[in-house]
Structure 1
Amino acid sequence: MPPAAAEPLTPERILETTEDVLRRFGPTKATVVDVARALGVSHGSVYRHFPSKAALREAVTDRWLAKSVVALEEITSASSGSAPSKLESWLEALFEAKRHKAGDDPELFATYIVLLDENSDVVDRHLTELIDQLARIIAEGVDAGTLAAADVPAAARAVFDATGRFHDPQYAADWLSPTIFAEFEAVTSLIIRGLRA
């Protein structure tokens, strides 16, 4: 049932509805007409906010990825806590966010895997943001003398790459393993010990 006509058509409302449409029809069958129909508007109204189907799908992908960045930024910029504990919390939060996305809404997660492949620029920006957050935590530890890294950006990239099994969607099936938490702990402990000054 379309929402009340009095509700304004905003980009955020379009994106929320697009998620619902993608969940129902999947990325190959969902169309802008389906989104417009769910909103109770013409497809031209949707195109006024997003000039193409590709732009709409890119915006949905960006919105989905940005949700985890906000929570991770809170950890990164927190004024309390040592850098090693922040690093551990950050890695745990990233893993938990990815696991929830895969487990809580598997249909939408599968859709986003397709969208991630389509929108490599959005994904590249997202990965750059995440690695930048890691670099800031490591740099804070270097400044405080609790972590050691001669090349902070390289260290951040190495930490991100070394923990890929716990956040890269291609490993989502592994996240159901009964030993995954012990494996995550072993890897993160090794990384943090290796970075300690």
Structure 2
Amino acid sequence: MTWDAQATVLADQLGRLLSAPTPLRASRYVNRVSVLYHHVECSALDDAGAPVALSPFDVLRDAVHRSGDTAWSDGRASLPDTTTSVRWGPHAADATTATLFVDVVDDEDFKTLRALNGSRLLFDIGPRACTLARVPDRPLQCSNCQQYGHAAVRCRAAPACGFCAGPHHTHHHEALAKRPGPTVHVAKCVGCAAGLP
């Protein structure tokens, strides 16, 4: 029995079980993944010599047409219907190149991503390899000041304890908590400095 036939049978059984007024429909699992192309031209000069921002979608479309890459041209790679499915990565206002992010709809086996990863498109500025956009599981948090967005190596802020939000390093917390005295080391969030339940 094919996957589609199994999904139809399952949807019918589930619809009867739930007494659904309209028939349920099962669809294949879809992954949304992002790929990127580094150092792609994001602006051009107009006739007067002033910089003009380029549309990321137009830049991608032209590169696909110019390159003839089969992963894009045979319809395997499709974009989600969102305005940000093709977008420029963060870059300075006067930058001439930027990273081009492309969200791709893929199947459960990531066949499209496998076809795209490492493939090359020919942009105006030259050929660029497609790479997988790696998204961290959680935001970067500094182990010195406990704030988000940077690592301790680059931190110049005063230390803050990750347990009690006190003005000391987290690895000193146990030694300071054992000292006799009026200091109470209650669990607190550094970000909101509120006591936790």
Shorter-chain TM-score bucket reads: under 0.3
Higher RCO, 1 vs 2 (CA within 8 Å, ≥6 residues apart): 1
Normalization by structure 2: what TM-score? Answer: 0.24
Higher percent of residues as strand: 2
Normalization by structure 1: what TM-score? Answer: 0.24
- Higher radius of gyration, 1 or 2: 2
Higher percent of residues as helix: 1
